[in-house]
Amino acid sequence: MLVLRQIGHGDPTTALLLADEPEPAPGPGEVVVAMEIAPLHGSELMNLRDPTRVPPTALPRIPGTEGVGRIVAKAADVTGFEIGQRVFPPKYSGLLRERVAVKAEQCYAAPGDCPAENLAIVYTMGLTAWLLLEDYAKLPAGSWIVHDAANSSIGRIIIALARGRGLRTVNVVRRPGLDTALKALGGDAVVVDPGNADDLARAVAAATNGAEICVGLDMIGGPLAGRIARCLAPGGTLVLYGGTGGAAAEIDFMDLHRRDLTVTGMGLSRAFNRRSAGEKAAIMAELGRLAARGVIATPIAAVYGLRDYRSAFAHLAREHAGKILIAFDRTRDAP
């Protein structure tokens, strides 16, 4: 089977190596999953470039944060899963390989009757959006929340899930021209970030007719986090759940002091692991159903086979609208 390994740091053409290795057999409590789809996330580029994220002592390693596949073998002691069943393998299992042996108890059932592409980002972005709203935005129907990076994959999922919960969203974006697309997903207001906290607060107030906004979600960090905080009502909460802008969140102390704002961080693994095994399975089942219905969805920029990983990572490094996916059926058909 084909396996992609990170063997160094730097450019994907030299830091990654595709090898043909023996297929795994299931150990006690394990299933073997034949991968169907796995997305490439921007974090994989950072892992290649930054030795502080993945130290040389951790190499070689197999990239691949999440994905979906079907069980092709299982140990005799495994119950609750069947051969041919589609599952979400555990996150961070090194899923850029054709087959992976994983603990069955760490897998979650996935819908078998929808395109695999619909399920590609359920386990990170879908789950993150669900937990953000469940843990920090349990508000009465009709309440407003404000969030940035609204045109990103996770921003679009937040819009859709918030609409399903009866919440209204102010969707902050970097460029004009996104109103139609984001409102079609269920977004209520789309505001282009003007780059100034007071100007953004005024634009948000105008877009919501001065509605009280109690929750803000920031994925970018840097000064934009402070601009989102400026939009919140007294007593509001700003949730920091990412730093894709590459800088630490910058929040004016006077905003916190004068309006008694709360700033908190959300970590996906920590938030998910607060749940029981039954609660986790129920959440993943719900997310799978939402993905099958197209509620959780993201634009797809391109799909590559694993043999074409160089082109896939090169595309990932360029400006692109949508996710880059690895489809393993294409890998098998490639010369």
pLDDT tens for 138-194 read 999 999 999 998 999 999 999 999 999 999 999 999 999 999 999 999 999 999 999
Q: How many secondary structure helices (H) and strands (E) does the chain include?
A: 12, 15
Please report whether residue 95 resides in a domain.
yes
pLDDT at 245: 87
Please report whether residue 36 resides in a domain.
yes
pLDDT at 332: 45
* 140 and 265 together in one domain: yes
* 64 and 34 together in one domain: yes
pTM across the whole model: 0.92
pLDDT tens string 133-144: 999 999 999 999
* 257 and 168 together in one domain: yes
* 86 and 146 together in one domain: no
CA–CA separation, 127 and 199 (whole Å): 32
pLDDT at 319: 80
| Helix (H) / strand (E) containing 238 | strand 237-240
Residue 331 clears pLDDT 80, i.e. is over it: no
Domain that holds residue 262: 125-269
CA–CA separation, 64 and 91 (whole Å): 8
Signed CA dihedral, 230, 233, 235, 236: sign only: negative
Q: State the Rg of the chain over Cα.
A: 21
* 144 and 198 together in one domain: yes
Query: b vs e for 21-58, b when ≥16 Cβ sit within 10 Å of the residue's Cβ?
Result: eeebebeeebbbbbbbbbbbbeebeebbeeeeebeeee
| pLDDT tier, 269 (very low <50, low <70, confident <90, very high otherwise) | very high
* 99 and 164 together in one domain: no
For residue 192, what are the CA distances in angstroms to 149, 172, 177, 179?
Answer: 10, 6, 9, 10
Please report whether residue 263 resides in a domain.
yes
Q: Running DSSP on this structure, what letter comes out for residue 149?
A: -
Residues 205-209 have a mean pLDDT of 98
**Closest Cα to residue 42, out of 230, 171, 220?**
220
* 151 and 262 together in one domain: yes
* 26 and 101 together in one domain: yes
Please report whether residue 279 resides in a domain.
no
User: Number of folded domains in the chain?
Assistant: 2
Is the link from the previous residue into 60 a cis peptide, with omega within 30 of 0? yes
CA–CA separation, 219 and 19 (whole Å): 36
Q: CATH code at 172?
A: 3.40.50.720
* 76 and 163 together in one domain: no
Contact by Cβ (8 Å): 124, 65: yes
* 194 and 242 together in one domain: yes
Q: CATH code at 317?
A: 3.90.180.10
